[in-house]
Structures are given as structure tokens and as C-alpha cells.
Amino acid sequence: MKKIILLTLLLAGFFVAQAQEKNLQAQFNFVRFYSPDDGPYLETYLTVTGNSAIFKKNKNDMMQASIQVTMLFKQNGELVDFRKFNLLSPEIQADSPVQPNFVDVQRIPLAAGNYKLELKIKDNHTDTKPFVVDADLDMRFDLTKTTLSGIQLLEKYTPTEKENILSKNGYDMVPYVSNFYPENVKEIIFYAEIYNANKEMGAKTPYLLRYFIESNETGKMMYQFTTFKKEEAAKISVLLGKFNIEELPSGNYNLVLEVRNRDNELITNNRFFFQRSNPEVAFAMNDLAAINVINTFASPITNPDTLQEYIKCLYPIADINERRFSENLLRKPDVEKMQQYFVNFWTKRNKVFPEKEWQKYKRQVAMINRSYSTQIKRGYETDRGRVYLQYGAPNMIREEKHSPNIYPFEIWQYYELGSQSNRKFLFYNSAIVGDDYQLLHSNAKGEIFTQNWESIIATRTTNPIYFSENISSDSDIKVDENWGVHIREIWDNP
């Protein structure tokens, strides 16, 4: 049986890799830091799930796994640095029932600039081809202003007793190499550094560090997950923070760090996207029974079908908890409860003029329905409609709909998307006929990332290679130069 490789990118910097049949599972993350003495450097964290690797006897007559890791750093297509090594597991007895996980941490100095990082991972005890992923790196730090490092997630930290690869600023820090927090994880622990606050604010000038959790969909701060810390401006300061997330409901969130001056003005900030699964915690919506809809803009809307339609069209801009609540509400539609939910939804977004906010959105929905509706879907139910309503109009749309060799597709580009820049969405029409384009790939946080999207677009003339089961890599799949359109070039420069 052919070994199949599965790879999913959760977000920039996080990779979860899995090889079926042999079941190799690895997670990779990187964070950028700056040393006043040595300049920028990259910390990389790799965790291999022990029971997914192949253990064989070594020269000590012990069982041990061996993973080949290659990291290539390129600028303008040229190789400028690399690391290649074998990551060895702890040795275990042949009859050991437990195959332990093993972790690697690397600290790699890199000159200021932009890089392409290419990671290759292979189990040395199998003949499976290495799986390959890449990511963009920006190792530039503005040394004239207050600057934040990346955010390192931690499983735990303890005072350092003997210096080792996990040691930093007096602590041994065990990395948490994922952005997913399941129900059994009770805390989110993190580490970051603040640089050059003394240059911008003056040495020893008091300033404020604020860190909190916000909804990724709405940007709304979760006030019960907010902390302040007073600091004095210095060349470098460190932050070790944590939140108890036992009561954080399931959803998509951002961990936000802010540096504010003594006047509470924002100096700089950094965001980190993460996901939480916590099905036992229900979201505490406002008590709808207490909302009086009389004389509100919702009171004339008494037709249950109309109310259901209005609530369904809110899905693209609702957060995950509002979606769940509305799904339950629509299973047993009640006019008064739907009116109360509708008023509550828009009052949360505009306390002074909720109806004005709704009417503005309603016009957008009408336009989306005209543009993207199909025979079986309203426009807001399609992927293009959802993305437009959630993020707004793209700055650029590139269409490729008439090549005989590839599926019709569109690339939407957003120059700025909240705190992100140059985010893109690729939609394609696998049915060829009709006008229902599915979202296949995006580099925006929280959206689907498909490693071999180029190959899927091209399966119109080749054997299907499903993105849920396969990955393209330099050694696996190449984009045919004879295709009518150079897909990667279009993605890079739509």
C-alpha cells in the first residue's frame, strides 16, 4: 500500500504533520527574538509524538527513534543558511510499553532581512519521502522604537538549575508546540520580550504592559481574561504571563500583548491566534428574556420565515458562540426569542444606532445575494459571499476561468486584513459549470490552508489528488510548466 502523507498548516509558524500508515506526527513552531549583543535570531521548536515514530535497536542495544530534520533559509531563491540533523528520541527498553515524545529547540542567528524557511522532516527508519513545508520570515527589528518579539507558548517553566537548551533568563521553558488548546489543558502560558523601550520613552520611565484574550471574529476583548503589569523602560524586558482558561468557551481567539505609555497611549502590540475546544463551557449570552423588543426596529418583523432568514444571514459576521446560539434558536423558531436575539446582536455592535448598523449590513447581503447566489444557495451561504461579508471587499480580484487545463478559480487579495497584511483567498469551481466557487486555500489566520492547492487546481487534467489525503512537495508533485497559467506566479502576484 502506498504511504500517504497528510500535512496541515494551522497558521504562520505552526505546522502539524502526519504520515498515515506509519502515523508519524510532528508539530513545528518558530518565534523570532533579538539579542542586543548578537542581533536577530530564530527559535524553532519541534515535537515528535513518540508512539508515531519507528523505534529500532541502536548500538547500545536499546530502542530509539531517529527523525531527519532539514531547515533551509533562502533569500531571493538563494540558499543563505541551513540546519540538517538527526533528532533522536530517548532510549527505551525493547519491552517498554511507552514510547516518549521528544522535543528539539534550535536558536539560529539570522541577519536582518526577509527569508523563506523550508522545513523537511523524515523518519529515518522508514522509506517514506520527507514531507516539506515552507513559511515566510521577517527578521527585521526597528531598533529606534519599542518593539515586541514573537510570542512563545509554553507548556511549563521552572527556575533553571543547570543551563540547557531550554534555559532563558533564569528559567527552563518547555515549549507548547501547538496553537490548539483542548479541554484538558487548563492554562495558556506565554513568554515575550520588549526591546528598546528606553530609547522611545526614556530609561526607567514607567509604562504599562497589557495582555488579554479577544475574539478572533469580532475583535472584542474578553474582559475576564485581561491583565496589566507595570514596567520601567529598559533596553530589554521580559514577560512571562498566563491565563487560566478553564472557563474560556470553545472558539477562535487572539492572545494580544500591548505596550502603553504613562498616558495609556498604545506604543506597539502583537497578536497570536489560537483555538480553544471546551465543549463543557456554555457561552453566557445576555439574558434574552430580559430584552424588551417593543418599539425596537425588530418589533415590526413578525413573519417567522423573515426572521429566520435575517438571522441566518448574520452567520458570516457572528462569532462562534453566536453561531451556536442561533443554530439552537432556529431549530425551534419562536418569533419573540428571534426578535430578542436580533436586537441583542445589533445592539452589541452599535449601542446607539443598532438599526442603522443592520440596514447597512442588509444592503451588503442583498448585493452579495445578487452576485453569488446559486440554484441551491443564497449568496451569503457561499464561500465568496461569506468572505466578502466577513472581511469586506477585496482590494483585488484575479479571475482565471477559461483555461482548458485547470479548474476555474479566483484569487482575492486584501492589502490589510485587521492586523494582517497581504492576505489572499483562493476559490475554485470543481464542477466547472455553474458559479459556486469553494474556498480552497488562504493565508489568513483561522482560514483553511491547503498545502497542495496548486495540484488540486490542476487535477482537471490529471488524476485527482485530494488535499485531505496528500501533500505536494519538491519530491512529490510539481506544477507543470505547460499549463496555460502559471498558478504560483498568479498567487504571488495577482
Cell of 461: 487534467
Q: Which of 106, 105, 132, 129 is nearest to 120 (CA)?
A: 132
Distances from the Cα of 381 to the Cα of 52, 372, 440, angstroms: 39, 9, 16
Helix axes 304-312, 320-331, angle to 10 degrees: 160
Q: How many CA atoms lie within 13 A of 451 on its CB side?
A: 29
Q: Does some domain include residue 197?
A: no
Q: What is the DSSP letter of 204?
A: T
pLDDT for 468 equals: 30
If asked whether residues 382 and 398 sit together in one domain, one would say no
Residue 410 belongs to a domain: yes
Same-domain status, 338 and 400 = no
Please state, as a whole number, how many other Cβ atoms lie within 10 Å of the Cβ of residue 277.
13
Q: How many residues does the chain have?
A: 494
State the pLDDT at residue 134: 84
Domain limits at 410? Answer: 394-492
Q: Does 440 lie in the same domain as 363? A: no
Q: Is the pTM above the cut of 0.95?
A: no
Asked whether residue 209 is assigned to any structural domain, the reply reads no
Measured distance CA(218)–CA(252) in Å, rounded:
10
Residue 42's pLDDT band, with cuts at 50, 70 and 90, is very high
Report the candidate in 92, 110, 131, 104 with the shortest Cα–Cα distance to residue 41: 110
Domain boundary among 139, 156, 174: 139
* Burial class of residue 27 in the structure, from the number of CB atoms within 10 Å of its CB (0-12 exposed, 13-18 middle, 19+ buried): buried
Check whether residue 376 and residue 402 sit in a common domain: no
Q: Is 411 in the same domain as 432?
A: yes
Beta-bridge partner residues of 36: none
Do the beta carbons of residue 472 and residue 451 sit within 8 Å?
Answer: yes
Q: Which of the residue ranges 111-120, 212-221, 477-486 would you say has the lowest mean pLDDT?
A: 477-486
Q: Residue 99 in contact with residue 54, Cβ under 8 Å? A: no
Same domain, 362 and 416: no
pLDDT on residue 287:
63
CA 413/CA 129 separation, integer angstroms: 34
In the block, residue with C-alpha cell 491565563: 243
217 found inside a domain: no
Band of the pLDDT at 466, cuts 50, 70, 90?
Answer: very low
Q: Measured between alpha carbons, how far is 428 from 408 in angstroms, rounded to an integer?
A: 6
Of the residues 75, 107, 139, the one at which a domain ends:
139
pLDDT over 50 at 369, yes or no: yes
**Residue 129 DSSP label:** P
- Domain for residue 464, yes or no? yes
Counting the structural domains of the chain, the total is 3
* Co-location of 416 and 361 in the same domain: no
Residue 334 and residue 430 share a domain: no
> Is it the case that residue 469 has pLDDT exceeding 60?
no
Tell me the residue type at 38: D
State the Cα–Cα distance between residues 337 and 300, nearest whole angstrom: 14
Q: Where are the alpha helices (DSSP H) in 350-382?
A: 354-372
Instruction: Tell me, yes or no, whether 293 and 413 share the same domain.
Output: no
Q: pLDDT for 158-172, tens place per residue? A: 999 999 989 998 999
Domain closes at, from 363, 386, 409: 386
Asked if residue 56 belongs to a domain, the reply is yes
- Whether residue 323 is found in the same domain as residue 427: no
Same domain for 307 and 348: yes
Q: What is the DSSP string of 401-461?
A: ---TTS--EEEEEEEEETTEEEEEEEEE-TTSSSS-PEEEEE-STTS---TTHHHHHGGGS
414 shares a domain with 375? no
Hey, is 307 helix, strand or coil? helix
CATH number for the domain harbouring residue 108: 2.60.40
Single-letter amino acid, residue 275: Q
98-137 pLDDT, tens per residue? 999 999 999 999 999 999 999 999 999 998 888 888 888 9
Is the predicted pLDDT of residue 450 greater than 50, yes or no?
yes
Would you state the pLDDT for residue 380?
Answer: 97
In this model, does residue 272 exceed pLDDT 50? yes
The DSSP call for residue 97 is S
Please work out, in degrees rounded to the nearest 5, the angle formed at the alpha carbon of residue 264 by the alpha carbons of 263 and 267.
105
Answer whether residue 220 is part of any domain.
no
Q: Does residue 1 lie in a domain region? A: yes
Rg (CA), the chain: 25
